Structure formats: structure tokens, C-alpha cells
Amino acid sequence: MSPVIDTIETLLVDLPTIRPHQLSMTTMACQTMVIVRLRDSDGIEGLGEGTTIGGLAYGPESPESIKRNIDTYLAPLLIGQPADNLNVLRARLARHARGNSIAKSALETALLDAQGKRLGRSVAELLGGARQTHLPVLWTLASGDTAKDIDEACQRLKQRRHGDFKLKIGANPVEADVRHVAAIKEALGDRAGVRVDLNQAWNEATAVRGIAALQDAGIELIEQPIPAREHAGLIRLANRFRVPMLADEAVQDARDGLDLAVGGFSGAFALKIAKSGGLQGVLELAHLAQTAGIGLYGGTLLEGTIGTAASLHAWATLPELAWGTEMFGPLLLKDDIVAEPLAYRDFGVALPTGPGLGIALDEDKLAHYARR
């Protein structure tokens, strides 16, 4: 008989960041993760993580709503069901619960982790096999202070930790943001690529002015300069400038990807398991992008180690990502809740090995940081 899902437990875990992380819509000094512990009737436990940015400042799901909706609506749909047919379980969640992509991603991660442990296979193997075991990782400079950001970037280069950098801008006037970014790019020169993320902060007219200046400054990629719903505007910007546009909030799943591709979008898609409801959904989007000749970028919602490991298993099944990844979430945190941290070295991170995600919890650390 197939094992069935016995219990699903969710925990809110608050971990402080190493420094304030400034975005266009909020500044973070702590990251809250929803940790999922799914236990099957054969005694196997699967781990998952649902994480977002800045409570409700970024999107419609908060850590508290993710936990409540899993506990109240989603977990009852899974408990008692056979644990080894993920396609049926995903369809069951989609049929009975709309939206809640981060919550669904956390549950799918836990299901895949448990199935991998049961079969003695990694999550990447369950998804078809890893094509790469070391993935490049950039670092986001988000202190808001130009001198501090330059120093931070130089330290990361010297340590061979990161070779490319992204700047979060959009909270300040355009001219101030451009000066900040241009100074950092000038200081780094050809030693590193520099990109920017607006998190939808500009309207299209402002974006035309700002992107022109950023392109002149040597910035190599512009992420989501205008609101997510403005697909036509993003396509116009992509066709107007040499510097590529990176669609992030504008492309949640394969349906959004198809809309942009059919409209003539050129540039890249930011892949995030949380946006697409899990690993299988994000790979559907990735394969669509590949077919349309659109570049790929492995994005993050600043997940901790569990969510980051899940993303890495998905990215590892793809050909080389044209724009690399930003799976640095665990490095932004002062501490961790896992027994063995991810191995960051040589401007990237190693794919975890072992069954499932290849991640085990540190129970003492989990108990210390879990919200009462």
C-alpha cells in the first residue's frame, strides 16, 4: 500500500538579517519563514518553506496568512491522501484552492523532499536529473549607502563569494538612484556586472528617462521597472533599449510567460518557485521561455536554506541560466535552522547532495527561533 500523509505542521520562524535590506517598498531587518513539516504514515518527514518579503509590502501573501491558510484550508486537502502521486496532489490543491502560490510551493517542496527520501533520490533526480551541480550566485547590495555598497561588493569579490551584483533602487528620486548605481559600477569597472531591480517603482515615462541613464552607466540588466500588470509597457521598454529587461512580478506562471512571449517580449524571466506555486510550475515557465528564446534567471524571495535548496534543485535541471541566480537568501541571515549550511564558494553555490533536498534541521536552532 502507498504511504499516506499523516500530519502537516507549520512553524513561523523569525531570523534577523546581517544588515537592513532596503527595497523600493520596505526595509527588512528580519526575515520570517513558514517552515512546513509533512509526515507520512511510513515515518518519513518532508520539509518545505514558504517565504515572502516584508509581510504584505511585497504581495498578497504574508507569513501569517501562509501559515493560517495551510493549516485551515490546504493541509486538510492533503492529509489522508496517498503521498507518492504528486501530480494528483497538485491538481487537488489547484482545484479546491485559488492563488496562495507561496503556500502551495511550500507544500510541494515538502512532498518532493519526502518522496526523494523514500526513494533514495534527490529532488533534482525526481525532476529529471541535474545538468549542473554548481550554480552562480550574485549578491544584492541594498544598504542604500554608496560607500558601504562599494566596500561590500569589493569584499565579496576578494572572497570569491560573488562575481555579479544587483542594486535595489526606486525608493529615491531617479537622479539620486542613477548617481548611486553609476558610482558603484564605476568603482567595480570590468571586475563585475551590475544590475538593478526597481520592484515596479516607476511608471513608464519615468522608466524611459531612468533606463536611458542606467544604460549609459553600463548597467547590464533592468528588473521589473514598471508595475507587473503593464505587460505592454514592459514589452515597449524591452524593444526600445539595448539593455535587457528582466520580467519578475510580471511573470508569475506559464500563462503570464505566454502572454509576454506572444506580445514580442525580449529579455529574460525571473524564475521563482514561490511565484509559480512550486518547482513543477516554475519549470513549466522555464521550458516555455526556452522555447521562445527568452533568457532565464534563478530568482529568490529571500528564502532560507530549505527554500533556497528547493530552488537550486529546480535550476540544476535546466541548461546554463543566461543570467545566473540570486540564491543568496541564507547569506543575508545572521543564523540558520539547518544542521549543515549550503556550500557557497567560487562565485556560486553547490547543489546539496543526498536524498530529497539534502537538508536536515537543527532542532535546537529551530526551537530557538520559532515564534511562540
Are residues 140 and 282 located together in one domain of the fold? yes
Q: Do 225 and 279 lie in a common domain?
A: yes
Residue tagged active-site, from 67, 104, 168, 275: 168
Residue 356 lies in a domain: no
Instruction: Examine the domain organization and report whether 145 and 172 are in the same domain.
Output: yes
Question: 14 and 67 share a domain?
Answer: yes
Long-range contacts of the stretch 269-272 (C-beta < 8 A, 24+): 269/294, 269/295, 269/296, 269/297, 270/223, 270/224, 270/246, 270/297, 270/299, 271/296, 271/297, 271/298, 271/299, 271/314, 271/315, 272/248, 272/299, 272/300, 272/301, 272/311
In a domain, 342, yes or no: yes
- pTM value is 0.95
Per-residue pLDDT of the chain (372 residues; tens, 9 = 90+): 789 999 999 999 999 998 877 766 677 789 999 999 999 999 999 999 999 987 787 789 999 999 999 999 999 999 999 999 999 999 999 999 999 999 999 999 999 999 999 999 999 999 999 999 999 999 999 888 999 999 999 999 999 999 999 999 998 999 999 999 999 999 999 999 999 999 999 999 999 999 999 999 999 999 999 999 999 999 999 999 999 999 999 999 999 999 999 999 999 999 999 999 999 999 999 999 999 999 999 999 999 999 999 999 999 999 989 999 999 999 999 999 999 999 999 999 999 999 999 999 999 999 999 998
Q: Tell me the three cell numbers of residue 259.
A: 502572454
Domains contained in the chain, number: 2
CATH code for the domain of 81:
3.30.390.10
Q: Kindly state whether residue 309 falls inside one of the protein's structural domains.
A: yes
| Domain enclosing residue 274, as ranges | 126-350
Q: 94 with 179, same domain?
A: no
Active site residue 168: yes
Q: Are residues 157 and 103 in the same domain?
A: no
Q: What per-residue confidence (pLDDT) applies to 28?
A: 76
238 shares its domain with 297? yes
What pLDDT does residue 142 have? 84
* 167 and 301 part of one domain: yes
112 and 236: one domain? Answer: no
Using the CB atoms, write b or e for 267-293: b if 16+ within 10 Å.
Answer: bbbbbbbbbbbbbbbbbbbbebbeebe
Q: At what angle do helices 204-216 and 231-240 cross, to 10 degrees?
A: 30
Identify whether residues 300 and 229 lie together within a single domain.
Answer: yes
Same domain for 158 and 78? no
Which element (helix H / strand E) includes 344? strand 344-345
Active site residue 125: no
Shared domain check, 102 and 21: yes
